[in-house]
Amino acid sequence: GQNIDQPTEMTATEGAIVQINCTYQTSGFNGLFWYQQHAGEAPTFLSYNVLDGLEEKGRFSSFLSRSKGYSYLLLKELQMKDSASYLCAVRGFSGGYNKLIFGAGTRLAVHP
Amino acid sequence: DTEVTQTPKHLVMGMTNKKSLKCEQHMGHRAMYWYKQKAKKPPELMFVYSYEKLSINESVPSRFSPECPNSSLLNLHLHALQPEDSALYLCASSQDAVRSETQYFGPGTRLLVL
C-alpha cells in the first residue's frame, strides 16, 4: 500500500533553518513533490525529486533517498511568510494507475 | 504562466440545489484533476481527465459529476450534496497524466452545503 509520514507541526525562528522530513512507502515510485499551502489557499509547487540527491532552489532545497524511502525539505533564512503547511506528495502506482498521494502535511509556524 | 483559475471562490448551497464548479487553464496541459480537501487534511483525488477523457474516478459518489468540454476547461456538477461534502475543491492540471509531470493547482472553491 501507500503510506506517507511527516511531522504534524513544527516551529522555528525567523532567520533560522528548518528541515521537514518525509518518509514514504509506495509501489512503483515515480517522483516526490513538495508543495506549500497557506491556510485557505491552493497548494503551490516547491520542488520535485526523482533521482537521489539534493535539489536546490533559492532558499528551498529538497533531498531524496529512494533506497531509504526518505525525503526532506530544507528552508533557509526563514521568513514570517514561510508559515504554512508543507505537503510531501509521492507519485506512485496504486489501484492500477499512477497517481499523486499526499502526506497529511506539516504545519510550520515561524515566530520572530 | 502556471495559472489555473477556478470559479466561484466560495459557494453555499442547499442539499436540493444543483450547482457547478468551473476550472480553466491555458498552459496547453492535457491532464486535469479534481481534488477534495477537508480542513487540516491533505487533498484527496476525485477524478482525472486525460486528453479530455475521464481516466480515473476514485469511487466518487454520483452526486459529483465531472465534465471536460475541451482541453482547457473542467467542470464539476454538483447535485443533492450532503453537509459532509463541504470542503475546498481544488482543480489541478499537468502536461500529461502518465508521466511524472508537476501538477499545478487552482485557488480552489470553498463549498458549504447546508
Residue-level pLDDT at A28? 82
- The CA-to-CA distance between both ends of chain A, in Å, stands at 41
* Residue B100 confidence (pLDDT) above 70: no
| E-state strands within A1-112 | 3-5, 9-13, 18-25, 32-37, 44-49, 53-57, 60-65, 70-75, 84-94, 97-102, 106-111
User: Is residue B83 pLDDT above 70, yes or no?
Assistant: yes
Q: Does B56 sit within 8 Å of A99, measured CB to CB?
A: yes
Is the distance from CB of A44 to CB of A36 less than 8 angstroms? yes
Interface of chain A against chain B, CB under 8 Å? Answer: 30-31, 33, 35, 40-45, 48, 50, 87, 89, 91, 97-100, 102-105
Q: In 3D, which of A84, A105, A108, A90 has the Cα closest to residue A11?
A: A108
Query: What residues in B contact A98, CB-CB < 8 Å?
Result: 97-98, 100
DSSP secondary structure letter of residue A82: G
Which is more confidently placed, A92 or B68? B68
Q: For residues A41 and B108, is the Cβ–Cβ distance under 8 A? A: yes
| Low-confidence residues of chain A: pLDDT under 70 | 1, 94-97
Record the cell numbers describing residue A9, joined without a space.
507541526
Q: Distance of alpha carbon B69 from its chain centroid, rounded? A: 14
Please tell me the predicted confidence (pLDDT) of residue A2: 74
In this complex, do B105 and A44 lie within 8 Å of one another by their Cβ atoms?
yes
What pLDDT does A96 receive?
63
- Is the model's pLDDT at B36 over the cut of 90? yes
